[in-house]
Every structure is written in C-alpha cells, then in structure tokens.
Chain A
Amino acid sequence: MKNSPADSQSQFLDQYDLTSRQLEQVLETAVERRADYADIYFESQTAEALSLEEGIVKKASRSISQGAGVRVLAGDKTGYAHSDEITQETLQVAARTARAIAQETTQTQVVPLQSTQPHRDLYPLATPPIAVPLQDKIQLLQQIDEEARAYDPRITNVLASIAVEQKNVLILSSDGNVAADTRPLLRLQVTCIAEDGTTRQQGSYGGGGRVEFDFVYDAARWKTFTKEAARQAILGLEAVDAPAGSLSVVLGAGWPGILLHEAIGHGLEGDFNRKKVSAFSDRLGQRVASELCTVVDDGTLPNRRGSLNCDDEGTPTGRTILIENGTLTGYLQDRLNAKLMNMQPTGNGRRESFAHMPMPRMTNTFMLPGESTPEDIIRSVPNGLYAVSFGGGQVDITSGKFVFSASEAYLIEDGKVTRPVKGATLIGNGPDVLTRISMVGNDLKLDEGIGTCGKEGQSVPVGVGLPTIRVDGLTVGGTQA
C-alpha cells in the first residue's frame, strides 16, 4: 500500500477536485482572525463486519464514510467545524465557522503546504483485510463455530464476528505540514455460551491489529481464540462467589494491563494536567510507583491495534516514558496542550473521526518486564486473588479512583492457584496503586488486540500490556465478605 503524504494528498485532492492552492486558501481564511494555527483533516473510511450466530453467518454490514473538518486554535480556544460534503465552498464555510473563536493578537502566516513527513509504514500490508473476499471471512466464522461446539457439548451457542476497516487520513496545517496515514484494522471476536442444567455462562476472547487477514491463521490464532472463549464459558459454570475486601492480587500478563490504562494512563493525558484537574497534576519528577515500575506509551509498535504512523494532527507517533523506575517522567500530549504547557507534542493527538476534535489519547500502554518468574509471584501470596482476564475499566481522573472488572479469576490459597471465582470489580487509587506493586514478572505480554478506549464520547483503538505483577491491598468487589 502506498502511504506517502504526497500520494495521499493527490488522491484526496483528485477525488474532490481540489487543488493544493485552494486548501492553502482555506487555511488562510481559518487563521485570518488572528488565530495561532489551523488545520484541515480529511478522512475516508470503509468498514465491514460479518457475524455468525446459531451456526450461520446471518449478518453482513458495510459502512462508507468520508468528511473533512477545519480546526482553528487561538490561545487555549478551539473552533471546529466539519461536514461530510467536501468542496472548496464547504471547507471555506467550515473555516469561517471555526475561526469564530479567534480574537488573539498574533498574526499567523500560512506556510505553503509541503510534505516533510519521513516515510514510515508500521503496517505495510500486501493485502489489507478489507480487500479479502467475503467468502474467506465467512468460512473462518464457520470453522470457529465448529471448533467451539467440538470443544465441549455444554457449548450451546457461538457468536463470532470479524470486523475490518480501512481508514485514510490526510492532515494539512497552516505551518505547511502535510501528513497522511493509511490505517487497516482487523478484529476477530468469539463469544461462547455454555449451559449445564439451569446454569449458564458466557466466555469471550478475540484479537487483531493492523494486520492482514492471514493473521488469524498464523499459529492457528483463530483456534486459540475460540478455545479460550469456550474454556472461559465452561470454567464460569463452576465459579464460586468472589471474595470481598482488601487483598493481595496477582495480575496475569497481557490484557490485565488495562490496570495501567485506567490507573495512570488517563490521568497523565495532557489536557487534564494543563487544566490541573488530574490526580497527577504537577507531579512530574515525583515518586508515583514502586521502583520496579517503568511504564511506556508506544505508538510505534509494528502492526499493533493502538499504533499509528502519525497521530490525527499529523505528528509522528513515538515512545513516551510515563514512569521510569517509579518516578513520573512524562505526559501524553497533543499540539494544543503541549504548546500551552511548554512541552513537546508526543504524537498522542487522536480523534474518533472527522466529526470530532483531537485530544490527548493513549496508543499502546504497557509496563516493562521485571525479574521475577510468574510462578514465584503466585507462590509468594499466602491468600489472594489471581486475575487473568478482564472486561472493561473506568477512572475518575480527578479523585484518581479507578475500577476494572475481572472476568476470569481464581483464589490463591497458600501460594497455590485454586478455585475459579465469579467476576468481580477491582477498585483502587491511581496515584498510589503502583506504589504497592511488590513484584514484577519477566513475562511482559501485550494484549491480543481488542481494546477500545472511550473518552468524552470518542472511541479509539488502543493496546495495553503487562508482565505478571503482584499488587498488595487492592479492594476486590465480590460478595463473600
């Protein structure tokens, strides 16, 4: 796939019969009322989803969208207008609407548009998943159904879906920058329903990324995902009530990294810190975690769900160290907040679509590995909880309190993993939970590629990762007081 900004620019321009000069004129209109900065964001997206239930692929959907937005920044003010009609005229109208907020004294000259973005492609795919024939996807879903039902006769229904999308973005700014990105995305999701007499349970598993369709066949991933979903459903049938109260909790490697996303990730986003409404405001350089903890946000990992060649403001993504050996070292920034805080943008300015304004968001957030083996970590806990699979999480960035809900967990009794327990929510305090991490495993794993993060009504794909860790004194919300 061609991915250079120049190619992408000419594609969008040809499609809408626009010239580079006309776009510069739109930017000139946008900054005319003395704004600091303006940009135009073009987006076109095709999404396709197929789903199976009761043994047949009965649902297929495809969605096509395109649109453009003009944004104007002046001091700490933002004006944004967007439309799904892309013409010189609608862009000019958008520019005039968006600039209504600008009453600054600065004078901004529009720099002639020129692509300077270094060519980088973190997800070069021979065939993007959107281009794979429907029949191949249908066949995959049918195989999953058979595999799941063969796993155990108690599996009574299987819901499987494959969702793929292709998104092209082009960003042109008043400082002359032109950036583009072509973003493929694939996600496979399997849910199994298990029934045993009157007891029912469900288990879900899945994965994906900015990958080719063959990803699901590499190392028979589809089989692993299917068996995991079936295994979790069956396991749930025999789960006992979860404990209630403050416990030592061992989090398994991979997706439990959602802890980092909720407990510290959101609280380190630049907008909240500029406004000083985060529990982490003004805490750069302070100790916020145990020395064992180093946490990074890295948007440059090849083929990962949370990765981007450039963010939605055209800044190349990077690797930001958020916490280094326990000390808070960085925030996640977009352009606006970086400028107002006298910091550098970190390539974390993201938006759901052209209908939304960008803001600081995470990409792939994970903790670097430590030295303990997972076995030693479990053995070190006399009585506690071993949680390996999670549903979603949420955080109040101001009070710092966060929750994340375990969907697969076991009791640890005398250093051994024993009975499975029902799902329970775990709750903690972001600024101090990482200080109570007493062991970090050598088994860092990134999640399979299923995460979606919501903030102020905008959803974006993200990744998380974690080695096995031990956290002391986390409140477990079960029913066994």
Chain B
Amino acid sequence: MDLTALAADVLDQARQQGATAGDLVIASGESFSAGIRLGKVEKIQNSQEKRMGLRLFAGQSSAITSTANFTQSALQAFVTETLDLARATAADEFSGLPAQSDLAQDVPDLDLSDTNALLTVEEKLARAQEAEEAAFASDSRITNSEGAEFANASREMVYANSLGFCGSYHTTSFSLSVVPVASQDGGMQRDYWYSSQRKLKDLEAAKAVGRKAAERTVRRLGAKQVRTQDAPVVFEPEVAASLLRHLASAISGAALYRKTSFLLDKLGEKIAADEIFVEDHARIPSALGSKPFDGEGLPTRQNIVVEDGVLTSYLLDTYSARKLGLQSTGNASRSFADTPAASTTNFFLRPGTIPPEDIIRSVRSGLYVTELSGFGVNPVTGDYSRGAVGLWIEGGEIAYPVEEITIAGNLLDMFKNIEVIGNDLERRGTISAPTVKIARMTIAGI
C-alpha cells in the first residue's frame, strides 16, 4: 500500500468535506518476539499492524481520530466523523498547524533502519537462549529465570498536512533481554539486563547481556533494610536516567502552560549544579530517539536545555509554544489518538570526568541506588519519594545490598545538590545519564 498517496487522498477528502486544515500520521509495520525460558522455547508472537491518526480543524476547533480500517468507504465515514467531532469542540485561538514557513524543507536520512538484518526465527531464538545460558553459567546462585526474549520490529511512518508537507521514514529496532532469578538462604531476587538498538550489529553480545543480568541479580542477594537517616545517594546510570525523565516532563510545554510543573517560570534561572549540561538531540545517526522531522512536520534539531546549571530551553510543540509566547523547539510527538505534545528525542546529561569507581570511593557512608519503584513524584511541587534497591557504601567500598527503603527529597534541591557527574554516559535508550551523586537525601528504612 502506498501510504503517502493514501495520506494525500484522506487530506483531499477532508478538504472536500469542509475541513479548514488537517494533518495525519500513518504507521504501518510488523513486529516479532521470541521468548526462551529455562533453555526451551516459551513463546513466539508475531504482529501485523497499521494505524492512522487524523486531526481535522473546523476553524479554530479541532478533533483527533484514529482507525486501522483503510478501506475507501470506511475512510470516507471516518473523515465525516472526525469533522463532526471537531465542530463539537470549542474554538481555541491557539490551535492550528504550524506556520508553513517553519515546516521542514528536507527529510535527512538519519540511518534509522537496518534492512539487511535478516534473521530466521531459529537464529533469534538462539540469541535469547545464549543470553539465558550465559546468565546461568556465570553464577551458581542463578537458580531460575523469567526467561530471555529477542524482539525486532520494522515500521514505516508517514506524516502529512494540508499545508503540503508530506514526509516519511523507516525505522527498525532490535532488542534482547534476560530476567534471571537468584536464590540463597531462602531469599529470592530478580533483576534484568537488556540491549536495544536500531541496528542489529550494535546490539550487545548475547553472552554479555546474560552475564550482566546475572551479576545485577546476584548482587541483590541477602539485601536488608538500613536505618532511617540523611546520607549521600549515588545513582547508577540506569536510575540516573529517571531523574532526567522528571526534568523532561517538567520542561515540556503542556506542564508549563497548565502550570503543573515545579520548573514553571524558571527559564534563564539556575535550576541545577554548575556542571549540569543537558541536551535533547534529535539527529544523532541511528539513535533510538532520532527522527528527521517532528510530529507536526517541523525540522528536528539539537536543543540545549540546561547549560552550566541554567535552564536555557523548554521542550515545545506548536500549541504549547503559542500558549507561552515562544517558538516550537521541534519536539512535537504524535500519537494516533491524541493531539501533538512535546516530548524528548535523545535526551541526555553530558558526562563529567570522574570514573564511577571514584564516585563510590568518595562516599563515607551512603547509598548506591540500582533500582527505583513507584510513582511518588509530585510534578507540581517536585516533591520526590520513591522505593529504592541498591548497595550500601561504607568507607568508600560497596558493603552490602539494601532493599525495602525509600529515598526522598525535592527534585529542585536534588538537581542543585548534584555533587559529581560520572564519565560513564552510554546512550542505551532515548533518555540517558552517567552516574550521578547527590550530596544528601532522606533515606527511610527501619
């Protein structure tokens, strides 16, 4: 099916039926996953999916609809229904497509697809099996497993609007994950490791994924609570990334114009320690968060959001930018059944110069966090309280594993109290960070 022609056709029908403007996104693709558990095939899943998300304007009123039925007659009714819905909503003076002059002029090839990677089902299963085997082989305390999974997907994305923009790009993704279970003295722990990439060749070796998963799991055995106290907290990269996730939500357009962000009115102000430098970069070749144009057809770019601890930019789409009297930062993200909203592309904290081992060595008595749980973050105030798992540091050395504790503070204070940034940034997902040390937080335990 020619999705570009389909997009043009639907927009044409919308115009004929009286829409004053409109845009749409179409995605079509397939995905596959294969799971192994205890050395045997456990599950295979295959999916074929396509979906269209249509936004139509009747003047300043708009509506969004989504469907997977692309037959001629269904689409005609779909357009009618969307317009009816649009006419029912209130006019909003800030709504509308971006200015024509702001639309992307070209669609750069960001090398997001790996079409040469043709693996058979057996080869995919073999990788999952190898990863799980490596986990079992690396430590005798790995006694069980929730399994290993290999997954891959391939997707074609098309975005078109009534201003004449029509762009498309193709992405692929590959991932491998393992969840081993370790036991000792009647206690049981699980952890995981994974690798996820646009290109098969960039995927971490199966054995390495398995070994890392085992190592992360085994080090949790025998975990205990610590007493309630204030202490320094070191976030390993996987969990440090979650702090950036909170930052990203707080500087995204909707949270700002709704005044639900603890970083409201902080543009140009110091919000973090001097060494903090955070960027959102949409055009890193082959990266998981990269895209050539955003969810409204604007060119994507590199945005520096925090420089020397000062908040230098928000993440905006066209609507939130208009509400705030600013320009879009090219961060519109588009889901099928919702209006475009600003979100991150590749969002990361730039690394410092200190090796993670030295950061741990700098702590006399404190926590090295390896996992966080729960939803105890208030976006409006920045108040922060989450469940934590990790390792206790005594005299600069890892002493014993801890669990059933919480760490609490306020995000603004936490950002300002970042004392050391590690040199170990690895872009493993779309949001990433190196090891980070926060000078002091409240740890609750016994």
Q: How many residues of B contact A (CB 8 A)?
A: 79
A60 touches B378 (CB 8 A): no
* Residue B117 at the chain A interface, CB threshold 8 Å: no
* Residue A65 at the chain B interface, CB threshold 8 Å: yes
- Shortest B336–chain A CB gap in Å is 7
Which chain A residue has the least Cβ–Cβ distance from B229? A481
B190 touches A53 (CB 8 A): no
Scoring B47, B78, B223, B230 by chain A CB atoms within 10 A of each residue's CB, the highest score goes to B47
Determine the distance from Cα of A59 to Cα of B86 in the docked complex, in whole angstroms. Answer: 8
Chain B residues lying within 8 Å of A65, measured Cβ to Cβ, are 51, 66-68
B259 touches A62 (CB 8 A): no
The verdict on A244 contacting B228 (CB below 8 Å), with A57-B90, A202-B380, A481-B444 known, is: yes
A396 touches B42 (CB 8 A): no
The verdict on A201 contacting B92 (CB below 8 Å), with A79-B44, A101-B41 known, is: no
* Residue A195 at the chain B interface, CB threshold 8 Å: yes
* Residue A83 at the chain B interface, CB threshold 8 Å: yes
Determine the distance from Cα of A78 to Cα of B37 in the docked complex, in whole angstroms. Answer: 12
Chain B residues lying within 8 Å of A58, measured Cβ to Cβ, are 62, 89-90, 92, 95
Excluding A58-B89, A156-B259, A401-B387, 19 further A-B contacts by CB distance (< 8 Å) are A61-B64, A61-B85, A62-B65, A63-B66, A94-B46, A97-B44, A134-B88, A245-B444, A246-B445, A277-B190, A399-B190, A401-B404, A403-B376, A403-B386, A405-B376, A477-B405, A479-B385, A479-B409, A479-B442
Chain B residues lying within 8 Å of A399, measured Cβ to Cβ, are 187-190, 220, 223, 389, 403
Interchain CB contact (< 8 A) of A481 among B44, B230, B389? B230
B259 touches A396 (CB 8 A): no
Which chain B residue has the least Cβ–Cβ distance from A400? B188
B144 touches A277 (CB 8 A): yes
- 0/1 string, A455-481, CB within 8 A of B gives 1: 000000000000000000001111111
* Residue B239 at the chain A interface, CB threshold 8 Å: no
* Prevailing SS type, chain B contact patch: strand
A63 touches B444 (CB 8 A): no
B144 touches A64 (CB 8 A): no
* Residue A144 at the chain B interface, CB threshold 8 Å: no
Chain A residues lying within 8 Å of B102, measured Cβ to Cβ, are none
Per the 8 Å Cβ criterion, residues 396-410 of A in contact with B are: 396, 398-399, 401-405
* Residue B339 at the chain A interface, CB threshold 8 Å: yes
Interchain CB contact (< 8 A) of B408 among A98, A396, A477? A477
16 contacts between A and B (CB under 8 A): A58-B95, A61-B64, A61-B339, A78-B43, A79-B43, A81-B45, A81-B47, A82-B46, A90-B48, A134-B88, A277-B146, A279-B188, A394-B375, A399-B403, A475-B446, A479-B408
- Shortest A234–chain B CB gap in Å is 13
Interchain CB contact (< 8 A) of B405 among A60, A202, A424, A475? A475
A-B contact count (CB 8 A): 258
- 0/1 string, A53-74, CB within 8 A of B gives 1: 1001111111111110000000
Determine the distance from Cα of A277 to Cα of B389 in the docked complex, in whole angstroms. Answer: 18
Interchain CB contact (< 8 A) of B63 among A61, A77, A94? A61
B409 touches A398 (CB 8 A): no
Chain A residues lying within 8 Å of B43, measured Cβ to Cβ, are 77-80, 101, 357
Mark B residues whose CB is within 8 Å of A: 37, 40-51, 62-69, 78, 81-82, 85-86, 88-90, 92, 95, 121, 144, 146, 181, 187-190, 220, 223, 225, 228-230, 258-260, 264, 336-339, 373-376, 378-381, 383, 385-387, 389, 403-410, 442-446
* Residue A370 at the chain B interface, CB threshold 8 Å: no
Determine the distance from Cα of A84 to Cα of B31 in the docked complex, in whole angstroms. Answer: 13
Interchain CB contact (< 8 A) of A424 among B47, B81, B338, B376? B376
Per the 8 Å Cβ criterion, residues 372-427 of A in contact with B are: 391-394, 396, 398-399, 401-405, 422-425, 427
A62 touches B63 (CB 8 A): yes
